[in-house]
Amino acid sequence: MFKSLQVKVVSMFVFLVLAVIIIVGTFLVWSVSGFYHDMFARQMDEIFGESFVQQLVEGAAGDSNYISVTMNAYGAQLGIDSYRSYYILDQSTGAVLDRSDNLGVDSLEKTPNIITAMTGAVGREVRSDTAFMDYAVPVNAGENGYIIYVKDSKEELNQITRSILSVIAQALLLGGVISIFLGYLLSRTITTPISNLTKKAQKLAEGEFGNKIDVKSDDEIGRLTMAFNEMSTRLQETLTEISAEKNKAEAILQNMTDGLIAFDTDGHITHINPTAVRLLGLDVQKTLDFDGIFQGLDANIRMGDLLYIDDLTETEREITVGGASLKAHFLVYKDEMNKTSGILCVLQDVTRQQKLEMSRREFVANVSHELRTPLTTIKSYAETLQDMLSDNDTAGRFINTLISETDRMTRIVKDLLLLSRLEHSKELQYTRFPVGEMIGEVVETMRMVAQEHGHTLRFAASTELPVIYGDRDRLTQVLYNILSNAIKYTPHGGIIEVSAGKIYNDLYIKVKDNGIGIPKKDLERIFERFYRVDKARSRESGGTGLGLAIAKDIVEMHGGTITITSEPHKGTEVIISLPVLT
């Protein structure tokens, strides 16, 4: 009941009115009490002025009854009545010598004011916390000392206070009734529109948007009602748009050729389209989770790895299901607060692409094998003709060109066969060997070639180079290919620097030249097979366009990376990074 807004408004209104009445009444009582006390003190000060006290002193010196007679004469002026009395006391002992009442008491309680008068000063302190008010004036008449003591019982003040409190009580009762009535009317003006808004909000929650609330005022409640009606209209439009977009997205997901599975952070499936069910052969009637699905498919991935290992927030795996090859792309997605919401898995059927790729590789291997025999035959016959026609200059030039082109085709066939073997076998001849020794041998071998082109070839190790576990012949071939390119594409008199070192658990080999460089548009395609930046120069130098592709495959088979940075006319830098396997 007390949670009702109307009850709270009425209660606050009543409490406010009652608090105001109580505060005003309290202030009024304090004011009356203070006024009464101040009036008593001022009245006594006016009566017992310096001249009147001096008159009493002189009269008491000649006649001991002078003070009593004089005080009887001033009784009306002092306000002596049943509530207020005066006493004549002995200054030294405080004994009662005379009094205005007839109670016959010979002594009084020695109040602070009486004690003050006994010391010779006027006792005029009026205290609100005592049951009486008093005033004591010393009269020093020669050898005899007297005290005129006036005492008021505050009965008159108490009667006034009781009257005021009675009025306050009546005001509280009447104010409470009136405040309840007015508070109820006020609360109705506030709670009725709010109640209507609440009912409308409940209907909105149930999906009813048709009815609008009538605006009956132009105050804050009226503007709130108008804003609510506007919100209802906008909400209806927004939900309609969301519903349309949801239906569209649902239609796309249901009919897309790729499989899609969404998991929450607990690994439970929140959405799966029919394509994913078909590709993975899942039984949607069973309770499925992330680890249960992909461990059963031997995908070598766990949900915890994706959620808690930063390098695996986006990764790919190849899965084989029922003879079909699938590529699974995993992605951790976040909500609008940048908190992890779950994992998306997109499945692509790459069976056809893999078959085509396998066919292409087999075709390249077969063609390369088939070309070796005719190329060997052509070269043998060309060399024989060269010996026979050595005296004929024109025929000699033609035959030299024929032999040169045959040699280049032979190198292309060898590189194609090497790529084919790398792609098919994916096997390396691992041994432990000192990498510094391997780099030094390659540099020494290529130094003569560099000097023939007028280049300076230098090698320096920034750290102690480790003994690594890898295929020495393949890595040697990688370094040969990179140094050959640096020598070929650096103008006469260039500088080629080879450096190597170990950073943490990675080995890096850097080859830097000041050659012609590579345009930015060509850097993205530099590792493609048969791609040449300067085709004419590559052909003249005998390049096959396969060296960097072979180097990239070998480095990646070792679990490493190879990157190239370059600026035209400034030079090129190739960095090979390999994990140190011991």
β-pairing, 456-461 vs 495-503, is parallel
pLDDT given for residue 80 in this prediction = 78
Element (H, E) at 96: strand 96-99
Distance CA 116, CA 60 (A): 21
Domain 357-423 is of which CATH architecture?
Orthogonal Bundle (1.10)
Does position 482 have pLDDT exceeding 80, yes or no? yes
pLDDT given for residue 67 in this prediction = 76
pLDDT given for residue 294 in this prediction = 81
Residue bearing the bigger pLDDT, 200 or 459: 459
pLDDT, tens digit (0-9, with 9 covering 90-100), for 275-317: 888 878 777 667 778 888 887 777 788 888 778 776 667 788 8
pLDDT, tens digit (0-9, with 9 covering 90-100), for 66-109: 777 777 777 777 777 777 888 888 888 878 888 877 655 556 78
Distance CA 523, CA 405 (A): 28
Which of the given ranges, 110-124, 299-313, 373-387, has the highest pLDDT on average? Answer: 110-124
pLDDT, tens digit (0-9, with 9 covering 90-100), for 546-576: 777 778 888 888 888 999 998 888 889 999 9
Does position 479 have pLDDT exceeding 80, yes or no? yes
Mean pLDDT of 213-217: 66
Least confident segment among 186-195, 234-243, 482-491: 186-195
pLDDT given for residue 184 in this prediction = 77
pLDDT given for residue 496 in this prediction = 92
Please state, as a whole number, how many other Cβ atoms lie within 10 Å of the Cβ of residue 578.
Answer: 20
Contacts of 97 (CB under 8 A, 6+ apart): 88, 89, 90, 146
Residue in the block written with tokens 């088979």: 557
Mean pLDDT of 163-179: 84
Does position 412 have pLDDT exceeding 70, yes or no? no
Does position 459 have pLDDT exceeding 60, yes or no? yes
pLDDT band (50, 70, 90) for residue 271: confident
Distance CA 432, CA 176 (A): 99
Mean pLDDT of 468-473: 87
Mean pLDDT of 514-530: 79
Q: Is-contact 82 153, C-beta < 8 A?
A: no
pLDDT, tens digit (0-9, with 9 covering 90-100), for 484-497: 888 888 888 899 99
Mean pLDDT of 517-536: 71
Average pLDDT of the chain to the nearest whole number: 77
Residue bearing the bigger pLDDT, 465 or 249: 465
The angle that helices 547-557 and 393-425 make with each other, rounded to 10 degrees, is: 20
pLDDT, tens digit (0-9, with 9 covering 90-100), for 10-19: 778 788 888 8
Does position 193 have pLDDT exceeding 60, yes or no? yes
Distance CA 282, CA 288 (A): 9
* pTM summary value: 0.38
β-pairing, 259-264 vs 269-272, is antiparallel
pLDDT, tens digit (0-9, with 9 covering 90-100), for 334-371: 877 778 888 888 888 877 776 666 655 655 555 555 55
CATH for 48-153 is 3.30.450.40
pLDDT given for residue 536 in this prediction = 45
pLDDT given for residue 573 in this prediction = 92
CA 385 distance to own-chain centroid:
81
pLDDT band (50, 70, 90) for residue 542: very low
Mean pLDDT of 523-529: 75
Domain 258-349: give its CATH superfamily: PAS domain (3.30.450.20)
Q: Is-contact 270 342, C-beta < 8 A?
A: yes
User: What are 511's strand-pairing partners?
Assistant: 498, 574
β-pairing, 133-141 vs 314-321, is unpaired
pLDDT, tens digit (0-9, with 9 covering 90-100), for 417-429: 555 555 555 567 7
Q: Is-contact 478 438, C-beta < 8 A?
A: no
Q: Is-contact 326 348, C-beta < 8 A?
A: yes
pLDDT given for residue 1 in this prediction = 44
User: Phi/psi zone of residue 393: left (φ > 0), alpha (ψ -120 to 50 degrees), beta?
Assistant: alpha
B/e letters for 472-482, b = 16+ CB within 10 Å, e = fewer, are bebbbbbbebb
| Helical ranges in 351-471 per DSSP H | 351-388, 393-425, 435-452
pLDDT band (50, 70, 90) for residue 375: low
Mean pLDDT of 188-208: 71
**Fold for domain 428-579?**
Heat Shock Protein 90 (3.30.565)
pLDDT given for residue 539 in this prediction = 46
SS3 content of the chain, % helix, strand, coil (to 5): 55, 20, 25
Q: Is-contact 260 270, C-beta < 8 A?
A: no
